[in-house]
Chain A
Amino acid sequence: MSNPKDLQSLDQPMYQARKAVYPKKVDGFFRRLKWLIMAITLTIYYVTPWLRWDRGPYAPHQAVLVDMANRRFYMFAIEIWPHEFYFVAGLLIMAGIGLFLVTSAVGRAWCGYACPQTVWTDLFLHIERAIDGDRNAQIKLAAAPLGVSKIVKRVTKHAIWLVVAVATGGAWIFYFADAPTLACEFLSGSAPFVAYATVGVLTATTYTFGGFMREQICIYMCPWPRIQTAMLDEKSLVVTYKFWRGEPRTQGRKRAQDAMIIDSMPTGDCIDCTQCIQVCPTGIDIREGAQLGCITCGLCIDACDKVMDQIGKPRGLIHYATSDDCELEQAGAPPRPVTKALFHPRTLAYFAIWCAIGLGLLFALGQRTRLDLSAIQDRNPVYVQLSDGSVRNNYTVKVRNMEGRPRKVEIKIDGLPGAVLWGELGDRASAGKSVQIDVAADSVRKTRLFVAAPATGEAAQPFDFTVRALDSEGGIDRDDVKFERPAR
């Protein structure tokens, strides 16, 4: 392309308008599976923020809540603090490996069934069919001149799309604040600007992605198909057109029979009815083989099986199959059940890793303490010489009370002979071996502690601060720091 003339001499255009896809309605096992998964995922998405969970008087009562302002993440009985973010990181890693696992076992099942882009596009397609009719009616309508009927249909369709889009964007914000309160505020116009902005942006993306972009998100934008392409191997399930059975194609059932009987020519099972293309939501021809555009939703399987039933041929001309199985089948082996392909070493390895991380997280969850102390020595100045010749060090101490109730705790010093301790608003005269402080429910108390000790001793002497809850439940945590003295 070093010569600009190359550009001009190209036969193909630089830019291409989208080729409209009008997927035809279909029914069958995979369509029903998609309905089921759509119902489950949409229900989870819309209903979750409205679930309640009693956490006592000091914490919110929303079962799943990402409380950005107070930096808390609530999920049913689990409350995550910012310093415990590794739990969220762990969940994200599990989600990632979960995708690997699913890809290894059933190929691009995420793309075909559970991806939000797929679910919402599917929803938008159903709305479109309900208003405009099925594939042929849609093609006819698109070609028809603008008239009253077309305008009414278009306005209705886009209005319903927008309602779905607003509901989608609207549901998102309820994960970040108390849902009933925010809903009232939102409707009365008193919600924070960011709530309206978020709903606005998500409404726009849902409407655009579901209504207009559809398969182009998968083909041009999403990185996951590329990653998955690299992850698929000869043991992965992909939607396969069994060409050794289907080819050569013959046009139409009658012609197929004629060709076989009269001409005694070899004919395949494929009658080139193009049903598989017509039902495809990404507008591809699965008979060209595995390709990037195939999200493996299985709708072409449903369509083809129906045709096979009609022409009295066995089902499964198009079906989930692994590359290995295809080779066996071509050699004459009977089709292997799909379930047999689910378990192979890579899948089991992913599953083992996934379980190990999950168990590790559960173990960590069971082990975590709800009382936490962290102490750092103040560095400016490192030490203070006192009038009686002793030395004082200052420490900034944070006590985290992660229980949903206020607690009284005692902080002690261990391993620093002759030392006394006092806190903010105290003084040397009232110093002792420990201090007691109150920590409010579900909060961090930051306080300064002053430790005075004799001037004789190590220049940097390690010791521990120990915090102990004074209520019946108890709980202990410690942190090691140093006590520094002037060099002698």
Chain B
Amino acid sequence: MVDHDGADNKRIDAPTGTETVGHEWDGIEELNTPLPRWWLWTFYITIVWAIGYTVVYPAWPMVSNFTKGSFGWTSRGQYDEQMKLEAAKRAPITDAIEKIPMADLPRNPQLMAAAIEGGRAAFKVYCVQCHGSGAAGSKGFPNLNDDDWLWGGDLQTVHATLVNGIRQPGNNDTRNSMMPAFGRDGILKPAEIQSLVAHVQAISHRGKDNAKGAALFAVNCAVCHGPEGKGNRQFGAPNLTDGIWLYGGDAETLTETITNARAGVMPAWGQSLKPATVKMLAAYVHSLGGGEATPAPALVAEAAPASAEAGNNVQP
């Protein structure tokens, strides 16, 4: 039985000499031990603290605003301050990356590592929309992880592609070339295109060749894609003999490609991003695994084999 009005059951607990509160639960009683007074002070201190807090920090909602607090603190202000501090911390590195010639960047491993990390962040902002978060691309947007490059995969070429973009009107240095729309413009008949498709599939080891297609290729395609179809980076003409297809290597897609042509574009990032950011992006893209070595000057090339012993790849 719970006695709600326990006042009558109060008694003095013999061992302690303390009064009980009068409640009893299965024989267990509660002693009415007074709280230490200093404990009460801690309660007052929290009240004083709370008043002080509302004075110095933003606290009270008003009709159309809120009390700003005498410290003038805002979470946004603190964020800006921290971003400024971080930017100031990064400044020497960013400046160094901006000043160093692209070709010299890999010779400074620390700067290169910083550039790759910076590029990783910038890529997530500017590049993922087309190339995907893992830079694996999609139909029409190249996979930047692989070793197949339309315009070249060494650091400086990647950088040049980034700076000037691809097929950007008004930019004299942009990557530019034009594949004819062989079908749409009536250069080739549909039957001829089918022969050509069969030939292109044959040179990438997927089907039987035909003489007609080979002849058509030599006349119409070899000027850009090369007599063997191995492509030409000067024109961004893809290698047609490898296992990688930007738009697709099946007959249907190839037919569409030859009929209507392809002309992918990319913004000229040199116009909108800081030079250091573009360099970082180049370093990051180059680091994804398909990056090619910069064609080395002749003098350096002679010394190179010494460091590349068979089976062992020595790195700094």
Contacts and interface: CB of A to CB of B under 8 A. Distances in A.
Contact of A384 (B239, B287, B290, B313): B290
B291 A385 contact: no
A387 B239 contact: yes
A432 B244 contact: no
Contacts of B293: 427, 429
Most buried by A among B23, B36, B244, B310: B36
Nearest to A423: B315
Interface stretch (B50-58, B142-150, B188-196, B259-267): B142-150
A426 B291 CA distance: 9
Interface stretch (A2-10, A75-83, A245-253): A2-10
Nearest to A16: B34
A1 interface: yes
B4 A424 contact: no
A224 interface: no
B136 interface: yes
Contacts of A424: 287, 315
Contact of B6 (A6, A389, A394, A410): A6
Contact of A12 (B32, B134, B136, B239): B32
Most buried by B among A11, A216, A425: A425
A1 B112 CA distance: 73
How many B residues are at the interface, by size bracket?
35 or more
Nearest to A428: B147
Contact of A432 (B6, B242, B312): B312
Interface stretch (A25-33, A346-354, A434-442): A434-442
Contacts of B109: 425
Contacts, number: 127
Interface string B241-275: 01110000000000000000000000000000000
Contacts of B289: 384, 392, 394, 448, 450
Contact of B36 (A1, A16, A427): A16
A289 B15 CA distance: 9
Contacts of B59: none
B19 interface: yes
B285 to A, nearest CB: 13
A433 interface: yes
Most buried by B among A9, A15, A288: A15
Interface string A277-292: 0000000000011000
B205 to A, nearest CB: 9
Interface stretch (B37-45, B84-92, B167-175, B221-229): B37-45
A1 B23 contact: yes
Interface in B283-308: 287-293, 308
A387 to B, nearest CB: 4
28 contacts: A2-B5, A6-B22, A10-B32, A15-B37, A16-B34, A18-B37, A216-B36, A220-B36, A289-B15, A380-B133, A380-B136, A384-B136, A384-B143, A384-B146, A386-B146, A387-B148, A387-B242, A389-B242, A422-B313, A425-B315, A425-B316, A426-B315, A427-B291, A427-B292, A427-B293, A428-B147, A433-B311, A438-B316
Interface of A: 1-3, 5-6, 9-18, 213, 216, 220, 288-289, 380-381, 384-389, 392, 394, 410, 421-438, 448, 450
Given A220-B39, A410-B312, 19 more contacts: A1-B6, A11-B19, A12-B19, A15-B35, A16-B34, A380-B133, A384-B143, A384-B290, A392-B146, A392-B289, A394-B289, A426-B315, A430-B313, A432-B311, A432-B312, A432-B313, A433-B311, A434-B312, A448-B287
